[in-house]
C-alpha cells in the first residue's frame, strides 16, 4: 500500500535546528497553521518568518494570522536558492534518509509515521555536526526560548477567520 504525505516544518535559521515537523496527509492551511502554533507555544514567536512561495502561505488567513501575532513575513522570490538553501538541504536529507527507508518499515498509522519522522530527524538533523559553527543544532539551540512569548489562546485565535454566511436563495414557486 502506498501513502502520500507532506511534512510541514519549522526550522530555526541561525542554528539550523528543527523546531517542529509533522506528518500531514495534505499540504493545506490547517497543517501549516498547526505547525506554526506548536512552534510558537514551545519556542516563542520570531520577529520575521521565511516561507516558500506555496499558495497556502499567501492565503489571507495565514498572512493575517502572522500579522496579528506581530510576525513579519519576508517575501522570497521563486527559486531563490540563497534564502531556501537550508530548507532545501533539510528536505534532501529527509528524502534520502526517511522516505527512502520507509519501504522497509511497517507503518500502521500516522502516529507511527510521526514517531519514525521524529526519530529520523532527531538523529540526522539535530545531532549532525554543522561545519559553520562546529557544533550540532541541538547544542547551539540548547532549549533556549525566544523572548516573545504569547499566551496559547492568542496564538489559537490569531489564525481564525470570521465569515459571513448567507442562506441560499429560495427557489421560485
Residue 130 vs residue 154, higher pLDDT: 154
Kindly state the average pLDDT of the residues 162-173.
82
Residue with cell 499566551: 151
Q: Which cell numbers in the block locate residue 45?
A: 514567536
* pTM greater than 0.95 (yes/no): no
83 has pLDDT over 60: no
Report d(CA 121, CA 9) in Å as an integer.
Answer: 11
Report d(CA 125, CA 123) in Å as an integer.
Answer: 6
Closest C-alpha among 69, 70, 67, 72 to residue 153: 69
Backbone φ and ψ of 67, nearest 5°: -65, -40
Query: Is beta strand 72-74 parallel, antiparallel or unpaired with respect to 48-50?
Result: parallel
Please give the CATH topology (third level) of the domain spanning 9-147: Nucleotidyltransferase; domain 5 (3.30.420)
Residue 91 CA: distances (Å) to CA of 77, 95, 133, 167, 170: 19, 6, 21, 45, 51
78 has pLDDT over 70: no
Q: Where are the beta strands (DSSP E) in the chain?
A: 9-11, 18-21, 48-50, 72-74
Residue 36 and residue 10 in contact, taking contact as beta carbons nearer than 8 Å: yes
Amino acid at each position: 500500500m502506498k501513502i502520500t504525505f507532506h511534512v510541514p516544518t519549522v526550522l530555526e535559521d541561525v542554528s539550523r535546528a528543527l523546531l517542529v515537523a509533522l506528518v500531514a496527509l495534505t499540504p493545506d492551511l490547517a497543517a501549516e497553521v498547526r505547525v506554526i502554533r506548536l512552534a510558537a507555544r514551545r519556542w516563542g514567536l520570531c520577529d520575521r518568518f521565511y516561507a516558500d512561495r506555496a499558495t497556502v502561505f499567501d492565503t489571507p488567513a495565514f498572512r493575517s494570522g502572522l500579522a496579528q501575532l506581530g510576525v513579519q513575513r519576508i517575501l522570497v522570490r521563486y527559486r531563490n536558492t540563497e534564502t531556501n538553501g537550508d530548507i532545501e538541504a533539510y528536505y534532501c536529507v529527509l528524502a534520502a534518509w526517511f522516505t527512502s527507508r520507509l519501504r522497509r518499515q511497517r507503518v500502521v498509522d500516522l502516529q507511527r509515521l510521526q514517531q519514525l519522522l521524529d526519530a529520523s530527524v532527531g538523529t540526522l538533523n539535530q545531532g549532525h555536526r554543522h561545519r559553520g559553527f562546529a557544533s550540532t543544532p541541538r547544542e547551539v539551540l540548547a532549549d533556549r526560548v525566544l523572548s516573545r512569548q504569547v499566551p496559547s489562546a492568542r496564538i489559537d485565535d490569531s489564525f481564525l477567520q470570521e465569515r459571513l454566511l448567507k442562506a441560499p436563495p429560495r427557489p421560485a414557486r
